[in-house]
Structure 1
């Protein structure tokens, strides 16, 4: 079997089924306990695993069904981190609509540490449900820096930011070691920050927080590399770049050119899940920087709209991308998850399945297998 990422792949999150949404509400209201909620989650995960396998996917996730947000549920389980409100952002939707949303901001009032396994039990359950390759998705360590900057990091705990970067990477190394020991060999880091640095408004916002947007890609590559440096040689680590994915809306725009050289050559990962579902992600020219041995998973099928793509158009865009990098280093996926937060995108379950099937069918057509 091909090493991940696979020719037909996906980012990881799926629309939550009604029974799971109801169970979460019952848990919040005290009508069921944590064990009761986990049982409903387990049942829903078994079903979503079967769905992925039936469509022909080799990389299998739990749909992120145990999470409310793609990042906070993980990050808050590290020592020294707390949630402190949100930063108001205008998210954009197709058709020119805007959506006001305040993504949670993480603050670091104390020393960061990894006191317990975070994803291991969830990984072990997922692995018990599938005969394919289980994939774990976790937020990139950079999610603890970009949105808050220096002000979000307590100056007494970390008078020197280098110590913060070192502790953060050490905590991630501990979690990755735990996952590796459990058998995980397919890991994805979800990162909005490198993609946000392709957007001039977001770059200016970074300047206002006291950061140099030209230096941040190098810093973030260093933090991620330090976080994954001890991974097993046979573990595939990939990064997913996202410009925001909340209820079919996004927060950033712009092609990958401002970060491409660092992204592809300094970041020591195996593959990249890149958004390419509409013009806001730019053209394929930045792919000329991709070196041999790395895979780019083109997110050509949108999760934000239910309208179906024409398979011929998807194939044509793959051919276009292949003028900038070798076809055998390219794979295909939806551009993001279908439900980066529990709220889900404005798309129906049958449309979700149809888009996933399209990815598999086109991959078989282009490469002969998925």
Structure 2
């Protein structure tokens, strides 16, 4: 039997993290919002549904499992608001997805940012860790610190600082302590989810002049700085990956564009693996993989070839063909397979059924086992 360790992650077949919320969980959330049940009753339902999906993931053969992000409403805002110095508010406008409108929740700074030892995600991870059997990794997902660069949040933050550098230092420190706390709780596999790189790709491509382009290139430099500072001194047996997303809400998206404009920056991140969307032409071709991988034998590229947005099942033959195409730029031994994103970045979820979700994940597992002999 193969021994599963964090340093083997990301795995030949892996997953991004979020899963469709079952009807029982959606009902409990509605009842809690209306005052029909209390927090303890909601938590009991969350616990039961998380146990169910952990077992489903294990039965499928996944080596790392998540809680489906079942305790979250948003993939990012719930975490971002949990650090000290940040609060949620209603911005009276929705995010501009292509063909759908989100709720108007956002976060903003009300003070200097710092680590919160009572962040609710710690209790959530502790529960997940307590129900995952030995030999399976409990995977924790959190938004990248670069999400604080979006919606002018960083402009607001610097009002509390003498300089932007001081803000970046505090932000990195808050994440560094947060990551260490997850480690102390037993986390050995943590993923930074990140839509900011897709935003930067979009802005760099569409820049009107050299000055505007330079602005977003500087933001890219800041992103490398804050992520690497956040990961400084991390334990050697803690695997860190990043997932780069172009937006995921009710099967819609925010951004388009290949990885080329940010490939050099991505190559400098001190992560062990990259979950990269490649489910359609919006992600561009595989050529930027050469620069992102940069010949670093210890890094893995997880190809998100199976879409989580739509129910139609890809053919295994097509997936194998695309994996082979990617080997022109990255050795097969450094490639893995996953869905392009999670299935429910927000509690609304994408437009497919739970059965279709599990069929997608099974396709990832089965294809990887047929491509990589050691994958089982």
Q: TM-score, normalised to structure 2's length?
A: 0.92
Distance in 1 of aligned mates of 2:212 and 2:171: 20
Distance 1:108 1:154 in 2: 9
What corresponds to 1:141 in structure 2? 145
Determine whether 1:67 maps to 2:68.
no
For residues 343-362 of structure 1, what are the alpha-carbon distances to aligned partners after superposition, in whole Å with 9 as ceiling and x for unaligned? Answer: 00001011001000000000
After TM superposition, the runs of 4+ consecutive aligned structure 1 residues lying more than 6 A away are: 207-211
Matched, 1:113 2:114: yes
- How far is 1:103 from its partner? 6.2
Shift of 1:26: 1.0
Would the aligned equivalents of 2:204 and 2:213 in 1 still touch at CA under 8 Å? no
- 1:288 match: 290
Shift of 1:58: 0.3
How many angstroms apart in 2 are the aligned matches of 1:33 and 1:56? 35
Q: Following the alignment from structure 2 to structure 1, what is the Cα–Cα distance between the partners of residues 212 and 158?
A: 15
Q: Given the superposition, is the C-alpha separation of residues 100 and 204 from structure 1 closer, same or farther in structure 2, using an over 3 Å criterion?
A: farther
Unaligned runs of 5+ in 2: none
CA distance in 2, matches of 1:330, 1:122: 30
Matched, 1:29 2:34: yes
TM-aligned CA deviation for residue 262 of structure 1: 1.3
Structure 1 Cα separation of the partners of residues 158 and 335 of structure 2: 42
What 5-or-longer segments of structure 1 have no aligned partner? 93-97
Asked whether the equivalents of residues 117 and 175 of structure 1 are also in contact (C-alpha less than 8 Å), the reply is no
With the length of structure 1 as denominator, give the TM-score of the two structures: 0.93
Query: Contact 2:207–2:213 (CA<8 Å) still a contact in 1?
Result: no
Checking the alignment, whether the CA contact within 8 Å between 1:190 and 1:239 is kept in structure 2 is yes
**Which one has a larger percent helix, Structure 1 or Structure 2?**
2
Aligned to 1:167: 170
Residue 44 of structure 2 aligns with which residue?
39
User: Following the alignment from structure 1 to structure 2, what is the Cα–Cα distance between the partners of residues 363 and 184?
Assistant: 25
Distance 1:211 1:62 in 2: 40
Residue correspondence of structure 1 range 207-286 to structure 2 within 5 A: 212-264=215-267, 266-286=268-288
| 330, 336, 346: which one aligns with 1:331 | 336
Deviation at 1:145, TM superposition (A): 1.4
- Aligned pair count reads 362
1:260/1:78 Cα in 2 relative to 1: closer, same or farther (>3 Å)?
Answer: same
What residue in structure 1 maps to residue 155 of structure 2? 151
Distance 2:247 2:255 in 1: 7
Q: 1:103 to 1:222 in 2, by over 3 A?
A: farther
Comparing 326-335 and 211-220, the one that deviates more: 211-220
Deviation of residue 183 (structure 1)?
1.1
